[in-house]
Structure 1
């Protein structure tokens, strides 16, 4: 078995330091992690759900979404494990969700973190060689029929791309 993408992340969500955790309508975007081999991991609480995104050009895209209503009233221990095949989320030592790489184009939501393949002419002042493959992280701002509006981050000030076809997502 290849161990290229094996890692674990553990942390406590302490109510006294995160009062938004007990608010049923709050949104908390935890600081992202960059772990083994450059995998980006994003944790977020959105209302009564915890969402976790793993982004890596070779490993692919993984999204976990789990209802957290029975956890938000107290301190919560979070453990995320990952290997080449599966990602597992534990809350207070209870396995609550596991996912494998899959097609997520029908499971997109505003605010999701995704990977997008960029091409020349996506930006006014940035040229990308047509033989190059440039994949970066982005956050979905709006979902239209076959298009997305994205906020690209990590390559400068806030950059937005309007009407990028969903097929350009790198999964």
Structure 2
């Protein structure tokens, strides 16, 4: 019995138990981290959806997860349901789609970097709104997903220009 570390559920068990209910509620499980070494032990479920997670969604998913995980006979632990951090790299089509309208820094496979606002994902390319010259004009640049080595959402402290959002395929209320 001591083989099961602290008697916590495995990552696979948590995903199998929660995935269907989270999907029915409109959310995807991005990751599950089981940390038996934490004091107290912790199970963290990272979830996401189109439009992201607000506090009401986190509360609802926490209730669902707690109810389902209580059925397991395991050692006590702290359950945390959270959204992906802003520093999480964008690695899938779904990540790029969900980040539309957000400012990103792209590291391209040739080593160059590109900072702009994500536009629409079209097949294997994503549109990126970039500054065009010093006069504050914007233009769209199509970037092949295969040429992106790393993509990370940037934290913004001021609102983007309406023109930048329009080019990204967003209206002012969606970001």
Q: TM-score, normalised by structure 1?
A: 0.31
- Which has more radius of gyration? 2
Q: TM-score, normalised by structure 2?
A: 0.30
Greater percentage in helix? 2
